[in-house]
A and B are shown apart, each in its own frame.
Chain A
Amino acid sequence: MTGTAAIRRTRSIGRAELLLFWRNRTALFNALVVPVLIIGLVAIATAGSDAGRDDEVRGNALLTTGMLGFVLIYVVYYNLVTTYVARREELVLKRLRVGEVTDVEILAGTASPAIAIAAAQIVLFVVAGAVFLGLPVPVNAPVLILGALGGVGVFVILAVASSAFTRTVELAQITTLPVLLVCMLGSGLVIPLEVLPEPGADIARLLPLTPAVDLMRLGWLGTSGEDAPRDFLGVLGVATAPAMTLALWAALGVAAVRRWFRWEPRR
């Protein structure tokens, strides 16, 4: 009973947020057009560097899963930091907090359109990868889904935490830069991790995006790039480490939210 009420309340906020998203041309462009543009650019760039590779399908597979990572940091993380800051500065969060909705429902409801769009894009990329790039059927679908869902969850939490350090919507372009840049360069989206010098690759594996991308690659391809592909059970063994790293980031994010998140503007 309480569960259905919680879902009803969260959906009501989510429906309003979806309307707002639809009416916000900037957010619409950022979430729907920019990923496609970036994918195009990266595809062109990697197509050249991959020319010498013997395994073209594998190159395409790594590229496609890298795009899933890009959806997480851009559509989920960046987009939601601006949304949370906007709602806080408009005093919408404060107004919602005097109603029946709980704190978690407010945050989840506000995030729900971005989560839905990210999920749709991830499905789209997986299907497009299979149809146009001849990618194989996922080796271990549960691990792929865990990577996608876990990644979405962690980047929603990190967006809530980052909004605490962002005074205005405009400043979000600056405050999100560290996470965006580090994740883009250090999580194997653009540069494969194995080309990094030794301590670099180990550090990169600790970033919040790397385990999400690794899990998606393991679940789909049976390998995160370095090793030969494994089977269903083999994947489960290697998936433990990135799953733990992702859980750690979720816990760190929740702790940061509890410590720093604000429901109303600083006066």
Chain B
Amino acid sequence: MTNQAVIEVRGLSRRYGGAKGFEAVRGVSFSVERGELFALLGTNGAGKTSTLEIVEGLDRPSGGTVRVLGHDPFGQRPAVRPRIGVMLQEGGFPPDLTVAETVQMWAGTLTDPRPVAEALALVDLEHRASVRVKQLSGGERRRVDLALAILGRPEVLFLDEPTTGLDPESRRNTRRLIRSLLLDGVTVLLTTHYLEEAQELADRLAIMHRGEIVATGSLAEVVAAYPARVRFVLPDGVPPGRLPALPGASRLEVDTAGTGGAVTVHTHALQQTLTVLLAWAAERGVDLHGLDARSASLEEAFLSIAADESPLEVSP
């Protein structure tokens, strides 16, 4: 009864091109509970889309198990498909059908479709209903794709970069639609390049890098594993060695190549580090040029992962 997992992925791997081929996904595990939005983030080529396509049942895993609504999405397609909606990162539509004809065609393949007009209204495309797909902008085509994904009133929605290529207003509208679907109890697995989108929508998230999940949890949990950062430039004649011991600091980098050493301090106790640093500077009359303090954020976590800095390296 306590197990509410709608999506359950265990030790998933996907290898392309035979036993010696490229392993795009290596031992990925995560679960998504009913009604939550789980965001899968990562650099390009991290394995997000490969993972998603296996969970959607498009592809068979090379190893590990996947369950969606309790079924194998590849082997038991008929049991899973009527209950899910999918928006691929790159899906196509015949260029010579109109928007309404495209949605109508898709509706004819579904068990319990919404009315075509309702689906078009949800993605703000009613005014484009009689336009041929080839005449749509890239963003409008993404919204047609989204209309198809929600057309069958899915319990689980898979969205692979749903807002990429959208203008800011459409992106905001799409996020509003996703939020309202979440309120209706729909479970969402989302990938995105926009970190603020994950920050805004996700209950939990995972960051993938080179085929593996390197950080996962709630936003606060993921961010907490990464240090805050303080940057400044020491004036001429003040060697970094003269700096005081900074509490909470896990790492200190000095850019000796630049003019006057630029210093970066990684810290798990931003306030204490700054207090000691600023007190020291005031006492010695030292100017800290370009002083910049940043608390840990998803962006910081993401960038340090992209730069191959594992949170395990940072120990006091």
Contact = CB atoms under 8 A, between A and B. Distances in A.
A8 B108 contact: yes
A90 B92 CA distance: 5
A51 interface: no
Contacts, number: 79
A209 B65 CA distance: 46
Size class of the A contact interface (CB-based, 8 Å): 20 to 34
Given A12-B105, A99-B81, A100-B152, A20 B96 contact: yes
Contact of A16 (B92, B105, B152): B105
A16 B97 contact: yes
Contacts of B91: 91, 94-95, 98
Contacts of A16: 94, 97, 101-102, 105
A95 B92 contact: yes
A16 B100 CA distance: 11
B120 interface: no
A62 B117 CA distance: 54
A261 to B, nearest CB: 15
A21 to B, nearest CB: 10
A13 B92 contact: no
Contacts of B152: 99-100
A9 B109 contact: yes
A100 B90 contact: no
Nearest to B108: A12
B93 A95 contact: yes
A90 B95 contact: yes
B109 A19 contact: no
Nearest to B57: A98
A168 interface: no
A23 interface: yes
Contacts of A95: 88, 91-93, 145, 148
A96 B97 CA distance: 15
Max chain A C-beta neighbours (<10 A), residue from B91, B102, B148: B91
Contact of B110 (A20, A98, A99): A99
B77 interface: yes
Contacts of B95: 90
Query: Which secondary structure dominates chain B's binding surface?
Result: loop
Given A13-B105, A99-B81, A102-B77, A92 B110 contact: no
Size class of the B contact interface (CB-based, 8 Å): 20 to 34
A13 B58 contact: no
Interface string B73-111: 000011001100010101111111100011011111111
Contact of B93 (A5, A92, A98): A92
A100 B94 contact: no
B56 A100 contact: no
A88 to B, nearest CB: 9
Nearest to A98: B86
A16 B92 CA distance: 14
Contacts of A24: 96
Contacts of A91: 88, 90-92
A186 B77 CA distance: 43
Contacts of B81: 98-100
Nearest to A93: B92
Interface string B206-240: 00000000000000000000000000000000000
Nearest to A87: B94
Nearest to A96: B109
Max chain B C-beta neighbours (<10 A), residue from A92, A94, A100: A100
B95 to A, nearest CB: 7
B21 to A, nearest CB: 14
A5 B109 CA distance: 8
Nearest to B133: A90
Contacts of B78: 100, 102
Contact of A100 (B82, B88, B97, B105): B82
Given A90-B93, A95-B91, A15 B108 contact: yes
A24 B94 CA distance: 11
Contacts of A92: 92-94
B17 to A, nearest CB: 12
Nearest to A105: B109
A13 B109 contact: yes
B96 A23 contact: yes
A13 B106 CA distance: 8
Contacts of A87: 94
Contacts of A102: 77-78
B106 A99 contact: yes
19 contacts: A8-B109, A9-B108, A9-B109, A11-B108, A12-B104, A12-B108, A13-B108, A16-B101, A20-B94, A20-B96, A23-B96, A90-B92, A91-B88, A94-B88, A97-B58, A98-B58, A98-B86, A99-B86, A99-B106
Interface of B: 56-58, 77-78, 81-82, 86, 88, 90-97, 101-102, 104-111, 145, 148, 152
Interface of A: 5, 8-9, 11-13, 15-16, 19-20, 23-24, 87, 90-92, 94-102
Given A13-B109, A100-B109, 4 more contacts: A94-B91, A94-B92, A98-B81, A99-B81
